[in-house]
């Protein structure tokens, strides 16, 4: 879990303190919402600029 903890971060002044991937403004819960709506990993990567497969893996592990 240490790798995920360093990959996912929360800051009070960024996205309302929600968990974000790396130091971006891409929220874990936004990524999870795409998945719940039926988007594939490829769809999510195409929709969110700068996101990597490793980012998806960390976000899904964090959400679990």
pTM across the whole model: 0.83
Angle between helices 53-63 and 28-36 (to 10 degrees): 90
- CB-based contact 39:31 (threshold 8 Å): no
Each residue's pLDDT tens digit in the chain (64 positions)? 445 557 899 989 999 999 999 889 999 999 999 999 999 999 999 999 999 999 999 999 999 8
Distance CA 23, CA 37 (A): 25
H/E element, 9: strand 8-9
CA 59 to chain centre: 4
Question: What tokens were used for 44?
Answer: 């999510």
9 φ/ψ angles, rounded to the nearest 5 degrees:
-135, 155
- The full set of domains in the chain, from first to last, is 2-63 (1.10.10.10)
């Amino acid at each position: 879990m240490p790798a995920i903890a360093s990959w996912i971060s929360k800051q009070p002044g960024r996205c309302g303190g929600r968990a974000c991937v790396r130091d971006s403004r891409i929220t874990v819960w936004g990524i999870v919402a795409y998945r719940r709506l039926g988007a594939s990993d490829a769809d999510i990567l195409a929709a969110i600029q700068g996101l990597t497969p490793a980012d998806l893996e960390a976000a899904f592990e964090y959400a679990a």
